[in-house]
């Protein structure tokens, strides 16, 4: 909360006069070492460098880009087990659009920072898959975000939900985990 108030002050704003600002920020949410996280040993990981196009005018990564990098890592995980999006579409006639997402941004990511996106499967059903993602800022050595997404399998015209392709769940078994921290 102190960092948030400092940011508001640097922008010429008085946090005391802005009703409700920061009331939901919990200092305990900030994780300052990876050792405190319960990262499944079977999680899929990728490192990315933040470019200018990922940031806003303050050179801080825009909140939508946390989701973009998580989706990119999820797609790379799927491709690594033979179910990349082009395979899903052209071989199986299926698409897995995200229908639910949520999370918390816990610390800023800035221009030229390196992030590690960590993803695993929390749940897989007949027609859906739930991914969990941590975004670790390697530059500041802090957890930047904790995000989840749920995708539902559809036909390529997105008109109805259908079962995931044969072999999909089996291919993702190696990445299934349900850690305690949420």
pLDDT tens-digit series, residues 15-33: 666 655 555 555 555 556 6
Q: Which residue has the higher pLDDT, 2 or 105?
A: 105
Q: How confident is the model at residue 38 (pLDDT cuts 50, 70, 90)?
A: confident
pLDDT of residue 28: 56
What are the structural domains of the chain?
41-175 (3.10.129.10)
Average pLDDT, the chain: 88
By three-state DSSP, how is residue 10 classified?
Answer: helix
Question: Do residues 3 and 11 lie in contact, with contact meaning Cβ atoms separated by under 8 Å?
Answer: no
pLDDT of residue 48: 98
């Amino acid at each position: 909360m102190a960092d948030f108030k400092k940011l508001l002050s640097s922008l010429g704003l008085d946090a005391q006069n802005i009703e409700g600002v920061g009331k939901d920020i919990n200092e305990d949410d900030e994780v300052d070492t990876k050792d405190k996280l319960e990262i499944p040993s079977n999680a899929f990981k990728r490192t990315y460098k933040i470019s200018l196009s990922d940031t806003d005018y303050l050179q801080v990564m825009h909140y939508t880009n946390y989701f973009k990098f998580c989706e990119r890592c999820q797609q790379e995980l799927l491709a690594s087990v033979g179910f990349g999006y082009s395979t899903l579409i052209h071989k199986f006639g299926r698409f897995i659009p995200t229908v639910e997402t949520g999370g918390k941004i816990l610390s800023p990511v800035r221009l030229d920072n390196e992030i590690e996106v960590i993803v695993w499967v929390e749940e897989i059903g007949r027609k859906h898959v739930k991914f969990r993602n941590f975004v670790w800022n390697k530059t500041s050595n802090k957890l930047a975000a904790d995000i989840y997404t749920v995708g539902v399998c559809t036909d390529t015209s997105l008109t109805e939900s259908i079962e995931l392709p044969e072999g999909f769940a089996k291919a993702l078994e190696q990445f299934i985990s349900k850690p305690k921290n949420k």
